[in-house]
Amino acid sequence: MAGEDLVELKFRLFDGSDIGPNKYNPTTTVGSLKEVIVSQWPQDKPNGPRTINDVKLINAGRILENNRSLAESRVPVGEFPGGVITMHVVVQPSLSDKNNEKLLANSPKNRCTCSIL
């Protein structure tokens, strides 16, 4: 495959630091990109993702789906010759973790009540 057909991506983390840039084939799935992010997550950063389900990738204001390729997700391929596309990474741990369940159970409920006098 020719080098021009590859998409150069970097992943912007919550603190403004980046993972990458690296080049990927347009047929690479979003799930595969998330695996790269989980494996390359900086050790000094708190609250890192444990699985790909903890990671959301955002490109051009859209959350990308795991089973779709870069091309299917309409990531611009070849539109920016020599340019790097930045995707934003949001880490959202799943709520199925036992510790998170305890935190949710013990947290005060934000409920609105109205009284008509």
Give the pLDDT score at 70.
Answer: 85
Q: What phi and psi values does residue 92 have, to the nearest 5 degrees?
A: -135, 95
Cis amide bond preceding 21, omega within 30 = yes
Whether 76 and 59 have beta carbons less than 8 Å apart is answered as no
On average, the pLDDT of the chain sits at 78
pLDDT in tens, 76-102: 655 555 678 888 999 887 655 555 555
User: How far is it, in rounded angstroms, from Cα 79 to Cα 73?
Assistant: 15
Please state, for a pLDDT cut of 70, what percent of the chain lies above it. 70
Question: What is the value of pTM for the model shown?
Answer: 0.70
User: How far is it, in rounded angstroms, from Cα 112 to Cα 54?
Assistant: 30
Q: Evaluate if residue 8 carries a pLDDT over 60.
A: yes
7-91: in CATH 3.10.20.90: yes
pLDDT in tens, 97-117: 555 555 555 555 555 666 676
- DSSP letter string over 2-68? -GGGSEEEEEE-TTS-EEEEEEE-TT-BHHHHHHHHHHH--TTSSS--SSGGGEEEEETTEEPPTTS
